[in-house]
Amino acid sequence: MAELDPRRLSHLYWDEGLSLNEIAEITGTTYDTVKWTFQKYGIPRRSRTEALRLKRLKKLPPKVDIEVDPRSLDYTLGHLCGLILGDGYIYKRGRNKNYFITLVTTSETLKSVFIDLVDRLGFKVSIWTRRNRLSRKPVFYCTFSSKRLFSFIDKMKHDPKCLAEWLENNSNRMIGFLRGFYEAEGSLYLQRGRYLDLNISNTNVGLIEVVRKLLDKLGIPHRVYSYHYNSSLKKRGLLKGKPKRIHTIRIFGLAAKRFLDIVRPTIKNLDGNTHTSKS
């Protein structure tokens, strides 16, 4: 039986992530020879859980290396745009047509992030609070005024193609936008206490398509589901009109972990209190 170098086998197995069959093919031997060498030199092997995790990881598209500067102007604009298109709105008021941009959130952390973003752009945020009539939690309305940013966000909201082109040409804008949109419209669950299930939902199918393109560019597998929501609220008389159709991007397991590692959201992450567990 051919003698193999145990240090090389350990490197191929643990550092390169190869299986015994793959190692046998590379070394020109057989599976039994490689297995016998592992046993002879006491080289540890992966558990079944580790092997399944590695198998799923190998099925993922190649990871895209991307560098961003969270303090750059492009990142700030992308982040702000994602937040507003997700959980905000814009409006004009008064004879002089004052142009307002507002973020609505129940998160103290996200409120602080928004204030910091707007401050970097040289504007001041006004905040007023009201109680949610269902949960009774405080809801923060964070508002500032800018005609140029109003026009910019209005154009991006109604022209997803233009938004996609603006984002795809700049990694800072792209990651900043994904972070803001996820912080506004995302949720994170731990299925059965083990498997990550990351969701991004919105009623604007154009914005969902933009997010899909960015995820494809980053090599993050995902699925899209569409359904009606708020039907229960309508039955209780709390919703006017027809239930809207919502579109949800779902990212599972290691792909969700890759998304969190790249985007690095302030909330709805593995370290935050919004990380929810469901059966």
Question: Can you give the pLDDT at residue 247?
Answer: 93
Chain segment 197-244, per-residue pLDDT in tens: 999 999 999 999 999 999 999 989 899 998 866 555 555 555 556 667
Give the bridge partners for 186, in sequence order: 200
| Of the listed ranges 126-140, 177-191, 195-209, the one predicted with least confidence | 126-140
Helices 73-87 and 147-158, interaxial angle, to 10°?
60
Chain segment 46-65, per-residue pLDDT in tens: 888 778 777 776 777 777 77
Sign of CA dihedral 206, 256, 276, 194: positive
Task: Kindly state the DSSP code that residue 13 receives in the 8-state scheme.
Answer: I
| Of the listed ranges 7-11, 64-68, 163-167, 272-276, the one predicted with least confidence | 272-276
| Of the listed ranges 32-36, 68-72, 130-134, 239-243, the one predicted with least confidence | 239-243
Report the percent of the chain where pLDDT is more than 90.
57
Residue 131 identity: R
Q: Which residue has the higher pLDDT, 142 or 27?
A: 142
For residue 2, what pLDDT band results from cuts at 50, 70 and 90? low
Task: Kindly state the DSSP code that residue 12 receives in the 8-state scheme.
Answer: I
- For residue 276, pLDDT beyond 50: no
Task: Kindly state the DSSP code that residue 252 receives in the 8-state scheme.
Answer: E
- Distance, in Å, from the CA atom of 210 to the CA atom of 162, rounded to the nearest integer, reads 10
244: closest CA among 230, 225, 232?
230
Chain segment 242-270, per-residue pLDDT in tens: 667 889 999 988 889 889 999 999 999 98
- Distance, in Å, from the CA atom of 94 to the CA atom of 1, rounded to the nearest integer, reads 88
Question: Can you give the pLDDT at residue 273?
Answer: 44
- For residue 186, pLDDT beyond 60: yes
Chain segment 96-127, per-residue pLDDT in tens: 678 999 999 999 999 999 999 999 999 999 99
